[in-house]
Amino acid sequence: MKGCSLVPALTGDPIKDRTVPAEFLAEGVFDPTFLLIKDRLKLLYSEIDPPLLFDLAIDPNELTNQAQNPVYQNELAEMLSLVRDSWDAEALKHQIIADQNRRRLIQKAHQIGAPPVWDFQPYTDASQQYVRAGK
Amino acid sequence: MLQSFLSATPTFAHYLRLAGYQTCLSGKMHFAGPDQLHEYEERLTTDIYPSDFCWMPNWSEPDAKVTFQDIQNVIETGPCLASMQIDYEDDVNTQAVRWLYDRRAKGERNGLTAQYAPHICRHRRGARSGLENERLLSRSGIDR
């Protein structure tokens, strides 16, 4: 999915297409989770949960799921097909699980022998701090 | 194609450097792996959270929950007098402000990113009652 330029916003001009895609693949979800904001509608979609559709114009706090509301069925279908065209959730899930498995293997190996030193160690040069000779 | 965040992946820090900016990071960034800079020239603090893969979820076994990946995060959100996160924020803030003044004094152009752990915060000064203080102290686990 292609993004759109936000440059017009810098000069106060309207942005033509406000379709905002996002994906969440980190902690707290157990399947790829996608977000699509199109004009006034916001869709949250994952293969393992029913869709959540909010009409931000009348429900900015996102309290009422409109996914079952007949009024929104055309727009919902259009957004769902846009999501399915934009992401291959099944393939993505397989890749993520493979990646998680690799990282868990690495993490397990790190428990044996010397662990890697990855934590960033901030360095302070005391010879350059505060009041020193010749400064 | 899904891939790890490689050191060979250009970041906005690369573009800032190419444009003549100094790049500096104060705070957390969740880089997991040996590259803890990804082209920030300097990093003023260590990360608050692990740099290794110990928080890796396991989607093959959704019941195998990883610590910090549940609703507990939300339940514990709220005002608190002292916590690890507040200690960290204080450090991030002090280092960032000091760095900015220092560079400003030298007349340099810079791009600083200050990243906080904002889930827990202090009440604004003066906004607390004695009762609230009691509650916050007990929540902080501070032995008075």
Q: Please give the helix or strand (H or E) that residue A20 lies within, else none.
A: strand A20-24
Residue A37 lies in a domain: yes
Residue A90 lies in a domain: yes
Task: State the maximum Cα–Cα separation within chain A, in Å, rounded to a whole number.
Answer: 78
- Distance between B137 CA and the closest CA of chain A, angstroms: 29
Residue B33 contacts residue B50 (beta carbons within 8 Å): no
CB pairs under 8 A between A and B: 66
Residue A127 lies in a domain: no
Residue A43 lies in a domain: yes
pLDDT at A27: 75
Residue B92 is classified by DSSP as: H
Q: Do B53 and A115 touch (CB under 8 A)?
A: no
Print the domain residue range for A105.
Answer: 7-112
**pLDDT tens per residue, range B12-35:** 899 988 988 888 999 999 899 999
Residue A41 contacts residue A55 (beta carbons within 8 Å): yes
Residue A28 scores a pLDDT above 90: no
- Distance between B7 CA and the closest CA of chain A, angstroms: 14
Output the domain CATH number for residue A92. 3.30.1120.10
**Is any Cβ of chain A less than 8 angstroms from the Cβ of B58?**
yes
Number of domains within chain A: 1
Predicted-complex ipTM score:
0.75
Residue A95 lies in a domain: yes
pTM: 0.76
**pLDDT tens per residue, range B53-89:** 988 888 888 676 666 667 777 787 788 888 888 899 8
Q: Which amino acid is at B121?
A: C
Weakest-pLDDT range from A52-61, B26-35, B134-143: B134-143
Residue A132 lies in a domain: no
Residue A124 lies in a domain: no
- Distance between A70 CA and the closest CA of chain B, angstroms: 32
Task: State mean pLDDT over A33-44.
Answer: 95
CA angle at A28 for the pair A26 and A33, rounded to the nearest 5°: 65
Residue A36 lies in a domain: yes
